[in-house]
Amino acid sequence: MAEVKIFSGTNSRYLASKVAYFYGKELGKVSIQKFADSEISVNYDESVRGCDVFLIQSTFPNADNLMELLLMIDAARRASAHYVVAVIPYYGYARQDRKDRPRVAVGAKLVANMLVAAGADRIMTMDLHAGQIQGFFDIPVDHLEGTSVFVPYLKTKNIDNLIFASPDVGGVSRVRKFAGYFDADIVICDKQRKKANEIAAMQLIGDVKDANVVLIDDMIDTGGTICKAAEIIMEKGAKSVRAVCTHAVLSHKAHENITNSVFEEVIVSDSIPLRQVNDKIKVISVAELFAKAIGRIRDNGSISTLFINYQHQITF
């Protein structure tokens, strides 16, 4: 069988090193340099000929990290790698997944096209903004679920009278899946936007009186939407409110918004590095989950065995 080699882009090395550790290998050596005008150059410092190459790179901030990943894929392909897997814990541009108004780009599809054109044989990612983005690819996509790490953590908290909440209508299916693991009810925050990251109005659908509420979302960017949802939930009589957001984008005044919010805690993964300490933010690593997934791919095993709903035979 082909040898497995794991490499990392510049800004995902913090996570890639942990993935490699759990897999039982050291990170491969790759040189990523920039010319004076910021043009990126990629060179592998060891042979990848005939190897199964896993390239770990989340695309944040999107432009440079995405370009790095594309060049890493191209370099591995030109160096005669046997199989190239792009491991993208956080898939940037996923919010641009449809043409929801005239004359806009569908960024998620464009990125998918570029990854395939660069030479990726397979994509591995986690908690896409919309699951149907998997259909943008004509190559296999392994879509891991954050529930695999978040649900066990929440169970250790032994929270009573638990209700799960979606910060918008689009996240209902994600919230329903979480609620199913706890046999809990769900509520929905119906929002109207003026523009990106700016809310015009929000109302709560459902009863949260005397409940401990957990808001579920795939990412937290500025934190404006989810912090506003938390305020409304507390105003409606909830005892406490937490949030589970897989990808901690945390741009602009996000940390300030979270610090001043009513949240008891905001639980995130390390798909994106936490660039500022915040007492309200709890980071749970997904490194072991990705290492296990790499092992399943290597051995032609089932990825679904890593999902909680598979392990417990829960149906929805």
Q: Record the tokens describing residue 70, joined without a space.
A: 């594309």
Q: Does the annotation list 222 as a binding residue?
A: yes
Q: DSSP letters along the chain, please?
A: -PPEEEEE-GGGHHHHHHHHHHHT-PPPPEEEEE-TT--EEEEESS--TT-EEEEE---SSHHHHHHHHHHHHHHHHHTT-SEEEEEESS-TTTT--S--STT---HHHHHHHHHHHHT-SEEEEES-SSGGGGGG-SS-EEEE-THHHHHHHHHHHT-SSEEEEESSGGGHHHHHHHHHHHT-EEEEEEEEEEETTEEEEEEEES--TT-EEEEEEEEESSSHHHHHHHHHHHHTT-SEEEEEEEEE---TTHHHHHHTSS-S-EEEESSS---S--TTEEEE--HHHHHHHHHHHHTT--SGGGSHHHHTT---
193 is in an annotated binding site: yes
Q: Is 313 annotated as a binding residue?
A: no
223 is in an annotated binding site: yes
Q: Catalytic annotation on 195?
A: no
225 is known to lie in a ligand binding site: yes
**101 annotated as ligand-binding:** no
Q: Is 252 labeled as ligand-binding?
A: no
Amino acid symbol at 189: C
Catalytic one of 177, 191, 228, 292? 191
- Is 39 labelled a binding residue? yes
| 10 is an annotated ligand-binding site residue | no
Query: Which residues sit in the known binding site?
Result: 37-39, 95-96, 129, 168, 193, 217, 221-225
Query: Which residues sit in the known binding site for D-ribose 5-phosphate?
Result: 193, 217, 221-225
Query: Which residues sit in the known binding site for ATP?
Result: 37-39, 95-96
Query: Which residues sit in the known binding site for Mg(2+)?
Result: 129, 168
Give the catalytic positions in this structure: 191
